[in-house]
């Protein structure tokens, strides 16, 4: 069965391809399907935005669709950037611009107050109009400076005390076992398995 992973973020797509490698699913992407529609992420929370993306792209593609909305909640910033994580430094900024701005905004905040979490909500939208959501979180600290080259986005500044390194220093197979996305994606496996078996029985 085909599953459209509806993202323009190459890092996310790589992670879903890894996490779902053993499932009887053929993953396809917005690029593969030549879909150029963009979705304004106007929802109040991650779940609303994930659903918005999944519903838009299932209609557009006619393919079972998975979308995720994800981001960073930093306690010292009252949970910001939250749903604004992707646009934290403006529309045309790079990953590095965004994490450098976050480091700047946390300058002088001591280690014990630099607690943060990544959150990810996965929404799966079916052709019949159903939507299923799952969620994952990953707790850590915002580092003082970027380290590591793996992963994407804010990984170089997200420090995991139990591994004594940032997400960007972890081998990708470990990130894909413990991350917010890995947890949300794994929680969605029973839903995907049921949809596959329904399609086979149809």
Q: Annotated active-site positions, please? A: 69
Asked if residue 181 binds ligand ITT (CB under 6 A), the reply is: yes
Asked if residue 85 binds ligand ITT (CB under 6 A), the reply is: yes
Among 86, 124, 133, 192, binds ligand ITT (CB under 6 A): 86
Helices (H), 62-188: 95-105, 172-178, 180-187
- Compute the least distance from the CB of residue 198 to ligand ITT, in Å: 26
Among 55, 61, 69, 142, binds ligand ITT (CB under 6 A): 69
Parallel, antiparallel or unpaired: strands 65-74 and 115-125: antiparallel
Round to whole Å and give the CA distance between 134 and 128.
Answer: 19
- Compute the least distance from the CB of residue 181 to ligand ITT, in Å: 5
Asked if residue 18 binds ligand ITT (CB under 6 A), the reply is: no
By beta carbon distance, the residue nearest ligand ITT is: 153
Transcribe the chain into DSSP letters: -EEEE--S-HHHHHHHHHHTTTSS-EEEETTTTT---------SSHHHHHHHHHHHHHHHH-S-EEEEEEEEEEGGGTT-BGGGGGGTT-TT--HHHHHHHHHHHTTT--GGG-EEEEEEEEEEE-TTS-EEEEEEEEEEEE-SS----SSSTTGGGEEETTTTEETTTS-HHHHHHHSHHHHHHHHTHHHHHHHHHHHHH-
- Compute the least distance from the CB of residue 75 to ligand ITT, in Å: 17
Asked if residue 140 binds ligand ITT (CB under 6 A), the reply is: no
Part of the chain binding ligand ITT (CB under 6 A), chosen from 5-13, 16-24, 55-63, 139-147: 5-13
Among 64, 71, 146, 159, binds ligand ITT (CB under 6 A): 71
Q: By C-beta, is 29 or 196 nearer to ligand ITT?
A: 29
Instruction: Say how many residues touch ligand ITT, by CB under 6 A.
Output: 22
Binding site for ligand ITT (CB under 6 A): 7-9, 12, 41, 68-71, 85-86, 95, 98, 118, 151-155, 167, 179, 181
């Amino acid at each position: 069965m085909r599953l459209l992973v509806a993202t323009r973020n190459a890092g996310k797509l790589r992670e879903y391809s890894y996490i779902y490698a053993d499932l009887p699913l053929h993953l396809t992407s917005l690029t593969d399907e030549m879909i150029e529609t963009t979705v304004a992420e106007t929802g109040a929370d991650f779940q609303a935005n994930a659903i918005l993306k999944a519903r838009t792209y299932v209609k557009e593609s006619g393919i079972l669709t998975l979308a995720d909305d994800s981001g960073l909640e930093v306690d010292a910033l009252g949970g910001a950037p939250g749903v604004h994580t992707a646009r934290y430094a403006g529309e045309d900024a790079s990953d590095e611009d965004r994490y450098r701005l976050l480091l700047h905004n946390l300058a002088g905040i001591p280690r014990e107050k630099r607690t943060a979490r990544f959150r990810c909500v996965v929404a799966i939208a079916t052709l019949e109009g159903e939507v299923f959501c799952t969620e994952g979180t990953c707790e850590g600290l915002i580092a003082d400076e970027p380290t590591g080259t793996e992963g994407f986005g804010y990984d170089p500044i997200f420090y995991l005390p139990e591994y004594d390194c940032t997400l960007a220093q972890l081998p990708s197979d470990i990130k894909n076992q413990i991350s917010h996305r890995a947890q949300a994606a794994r929680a969605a496996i029973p839903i995907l398995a049921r949809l596959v078996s329904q399609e086979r029985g149809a």
